[in-house]
């Protein structure tokens, strides 16, 4: 895949930084194609780049293997991922590393927008349209939050150059252990010593 996304960067700069600022994100990992310029966000981030062969920077690996521990990332930015059959495996691997309650922002080019056709040409056919793009996220256990303006502009073909989904991984339920109060608070064995202090 030798396409770029330069003409879409202005649209990404207009929406992604604002979303991340409002979500209280301290740092994130961005997953993006090697040919894609990154949006201008002021949050500390680590970039992981891929192409058709898998992850290529800052390490090399299969698409379904990331060197992150389970549930270790507070937020992920997934950009222009859904091109082929292996994209779903890459997305699931990114979600595996996302912490409970963590934020996911997923963005792709709108295949029905003129900027996508100008930038990507026939490769636009490989992009998911809005209903499929939404389904690719809804099939996972994510609490989806689609910004109202983005929802309507994404649902109408050709209006927005980007398709955008925001969600959170459900927080893990707290485990409750029953306390044995008899062992923790046993009665005092000896009576307290009487005081010999007298008030003046």
Q: In this structure, is residue 190 part of a structural domain? A: no
Half-sphere exposure of 184 (CA within 13 A, CB side): 4
CA atoms within 13 A on the CB side of 48: 24
- Please check the confidence at residue 173 and state whether its pLDDT lies above 80: no
What mean pLDDT comes out for the span 47-57? Answer: 90
Q: How would you classify the pairing of strands 143-145 and 162-168?
A: antiparallel
If one counts the domains in the chain, the total is: 1
Looking at residue 10, what is its pLDDT?
82
**pLDDT for residue 180 is more than 70:** no
> Looking at the domain assignment, is residue 16 inside a domain?
yes
User: Hunting for tokens 């595996």 — which residue is that?
Assistant: 96
- To the nearest whole number, what is the mean pLDDT of the chain? 82
**pLDDT score for 142:** 93
Task: Residue 112: give its domain's CATH number.
Answer: 3.40.50.150
In a domain, 182, yes or no: no
At residue 133, does pLDDT exceed 70? yes
SS (H, E, C) the chain: CCCCCHHHHHHHHHHHHHHHHHCCCCCEEEEEECCCCCCCCCCCEEEEEEECCEEEECCCECCCCCCCCCCCEEEEEEECCCCCCCHHHHHHHHHHHEEEEEEEEEEEECCCCHHHHHHHHHHHHHCCCHHHHHHHHHCCCCEEECCHHHHHHHHCCCCCCEEEEEEECCCCCCCCCCCCHHHHCCCCCCCCCCCCCCCC
> What pLDDT score does 2 carry?
40
Over residues 154-164, the pLDDT tens digits come to: 555 567 888 89
User: Could you tell me the pTM of the whole model?
Assistant: 0.80
Q: Is residue 134 part of a domain?
A: yes
**Which domain does 37 fall in, by range?**
6-169
User: Is 147 among the domain residues?
Assistant: yes
**pLDDT grade for 181, boundaries at 50, 70 and 90:** low
pLDDT attached to residue 1:
40
Residue labelled with tokens 């890459």: 90
Answer whether residue 33 is part of any domain.
Answer: yes
Query: Is residue 193 one of the residues assigned to a domain?
Result: no
The answer to the question of residue 70 being in a domain is yes
> What number of residues does the chain have?
200
Share of the chain above pLDDT 70, in %: 78
For the cut 50, the answer to whether the pLDDT of residue 114 exceeds it is: yes
Phi first, then psi, for residue 89 (nearest 5°) are: -65, -40
Least confident of 40-49, 107-116, 178-187, 190-199: 190-199
CA distances from 115 to 88, 112, 121, 159, 188 (A): 25, 9, 9, 11, 78
């Amino acid at each position: 895949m030798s396409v770029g996304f330069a003409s879409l960067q202005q649209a990404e700069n207009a929406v992604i930084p604002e979303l991340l600022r409002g979500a209280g994100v301290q740092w994130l990992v961005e997953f993006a194609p090697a040919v894609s310029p990154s949006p201008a966000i002021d949050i500390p981030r680590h970039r992981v780049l891929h192409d058709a062969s898998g992850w290529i920077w800052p390490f090399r690996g299969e698409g379904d293997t990331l060197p992150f521990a389970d549930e270790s990332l507070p937020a992920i930015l997934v950009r222009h991922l859904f091109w082929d059959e292996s994209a779903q495996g890459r997305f699931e691997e990114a979600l595996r590393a996302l912490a409970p309650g963590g934020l996911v922002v997923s963005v792709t080019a709108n295949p029905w927008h003129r900027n996508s056709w100008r930038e990507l040409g026939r490769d636009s056919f490989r992009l998911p349209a809005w209903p499929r793009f939404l389904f690719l996220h809804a099939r996972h256990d994510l609490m989806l939050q689609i910004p109202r303006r983005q929802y309507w502009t994404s649902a109408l073909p050709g209006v927005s150059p980007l398709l955008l989904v925001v969600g959170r991984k459900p927080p893990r339920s707290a485990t409750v252990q029953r306390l044995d109060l008899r062992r923790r608070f046993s009665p005092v064995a000896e009576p307290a010593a009487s005081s010999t202090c007298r008030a003046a």
